[in-house]
Amino acid sequence: MDLVRRHDWDVTPKEAVALQRDLAAEIVADRPLPLDAVRLVAGVDVSVKNDRSHAAIVVATYPEFRVVETVTALMPTPFPYVPGLLSFREGPVLEEAFGRLEAEPDVFLFDGMGTAHPRRIGIASHMGLWLQRPTIGVGKTRLCGRNAPLDDEKGAHQPLIDKGETIGAVVRTRTGKHPLFISPGHLADIPTSVALVLACAPKFRLPEPIRLAHKAAGAFV
């Protein structure tokens, strides 16, 4: 698929932070997803081992989750591990993988953050600017923000708040299991992002498209 390439990836951590601050102003995080029009959902994941990055994108039908396309890419990991700068570590290999994609997903679910990020531009937001498609961040651990106590039942959710701003939601996708940290990436909003992630998680903690991508990325390791 075609991408809108915004910058080079060969930057220092200081330059990466400056880029994030500039690009964050372009993120659209208040646009409801037209859920009744969603037909294809992509899961996006990157595995890193021995300084090699393995990206996988799995496109599945919605709501059946029948796989229609899987693309992968492999390259040396170009950027150090720095909290908050994941997109500069994973972006290059994702760019290569997205360039191989033939399907046209209606929405992309990323294993990583969207606006639930100190500078409001996690990997789902950052790559959303390149994709110019709706993206959602699905984080497994908290990066920033606080929330009220969460009920144990599946579907329970609370606003995730940082510095007085609601940046996402903490969502229980399976009863009694650790919650996920859901936030819009780009061209999405919090309520419909939460609704889609819950609909994509009928049996497991992780939404099915991300589970499929995780398995595909891990097959390299």
Binding-site residue set for Mg(2+): 45, 111
Over 147-186, what HEC string results? CCCCCCCCCCEEEEEECCEEEEEEECCCCCCCCEEEEEEE
**Which residues have CB under 8 Å from 117's CB, separation 6+?**
84, 125, 137, 143, 144, 167, 183
Binding site: residue ranges? Answer: 45, 111
Pairwise CA distance, residues 165 & 172, whole Å: 21
Output the six-digit token pair for 95.
């760019």
